[in-house]
Chains A and B, each alone.
Chain A
Amino acid sequence: MPNKLTRLILGLLLAVVAGPGLSACKILPTPSAQGGDSANSSAFSPDKKVEEIWATKVIPYLQQKAGPFAEVHALAQTDPAGAGAKYGNPKKQANSSWTFAVRVEGKIVAANTQSRAATVDVDVDGDGKADARVQIGPAMRGTALRDSLDFVQFNDFTNQIDFAQFGKAFNAHADKTVLSKLPRDTLEGRAAKVLGAYTIESGQDLPLVTPAEAEIGPKP
């Protein structure tokens, strides 16, 4: 009796250990249930989605959340998480940098329109020195607008590609509707008024602000 039982248990154990070999015959569910996900990925239209939420959700959110640049930046230096909770998306991805909604108002003290990633440097405190660098397109860096929004989460997207293209769609929309209409010549000395967002990055000369709304005043 013990022998039989032992043999039975031994047999069962062998079956478990030999599992890899046996399971080759196991019928596995086909991954067809996931087919919908990949299909969605190609159907996702980031430009259209941004267009839908821009005026109804994005601009109101930025208007409500943004702080004056000097204030936001001062808090960002001492308490980035606190600044993130107040001016940005507290539910951001784990190791990503904080992004803040911000208003930049001041005087343009320098401009780089040679690059396609054109920028203007703005002095907000009147000391004659640039405090923030504002992107005026057409090429733009980063995904600050997307990352400042607390209602946009990576987990709501099928994959990185959709998430990234959604990020770029914000920049493209800002360029198309706002930045492409800005003047490009003799920008120095003019007033600038911007509503946008920026991300803290190491090795930056100046905080790089991506506008959602921007105005440049007349020549002085």
Chain B
Amino acid sequence: MKQKYKIQAFSILFMALVLAIGTTGCLKNLPSDRESIATNTQFTQTVYTPVLGRNTLFSNNFSVGNSSQPLTFKIINMRNRDGSAAPELTENFPVQVWTQAYLGDEKSIAEIEAKRTIENHPLFEIREHSGQFLMWSAALSTFVKTQPDSGYVFDVEMSNSGGRRYFRDFKLMPLKERSFEPSTFNAITGLSQHTGLSPSDVQNIIGAKTNRGLGGDDIEVQFHKVGEGNSLKFKFVDSLYNPIDPALFNLTKWDKLVHGFDMEKTNAYVKYTVAYPVPLIAYKTQYTNAAGDNAHVTFSYDRQAYGNIRSVSNLNLDFAIYEKGDWEITFWFKTESPKFIND
């Protein structure tokens, strides 16, 4: 009798158990909440040709399609064209990174330097979740293969909780450094093709000899690195390379010319201590052009022109220098000097 009771009590428990397992058992077949990895996800650019010696970010290179974000990306199998390993791109190097935003209103070099620091990174990286590629400025052609070499090949692994996909045979074909822009260097060979450049814009400058308007062809801008410090010097020279006193550009706002400090103005040059690169970042400040990607300098003067009118003349240059050093920018009035005197 006692035994029978037990069996029946057991049967009630069993019934309850069947109900419980039955309902939870149904749930076992439900799909798990996994993110989506879609077939229409792809990279829209597979050949990357960064210019060495400067920070390069490749964005808009990825179409997410129907995959769920965040995705995680990894560069794998970084190799030379012949399949051998390429440790120069996978090992960490000290690179300069920004920790705080550069705004253009910093009061000293120290204040600017406080906003960036040194970290160790591989020279060529993929942003972990966005798929953007970036090349750090510490990558130099001395140890990274550059064109005309066929460069490197690598694969990318993309994953999220829904699975992973591989994108194969991306090509990285770096170009040699061009330490300043606009540049005189050939992109492939890295050799200088010209002695200098034209200024970005010349307005209303009249030659002292001929009274004709001077244009871009009359003025050559030359970039010279003369030391390993961090200064930037502007010089004006006449056709015979004799210095022209910068003070003659009397309307120039010398203190706001570049984001530099400790201005040293002589009758031969103007020199600033600056933080490199110039401009520091592609961000519009009072020292840059409208897009923010180049420093913008304007040398300006006025004079009394023919007919007793005031004539304002401008000499503009948009430029960027990526390599740290003591740089000299020389404006060489090739044909004749500008006319500063009144008519």
The yes or no verdict on A and B being binding partners is no
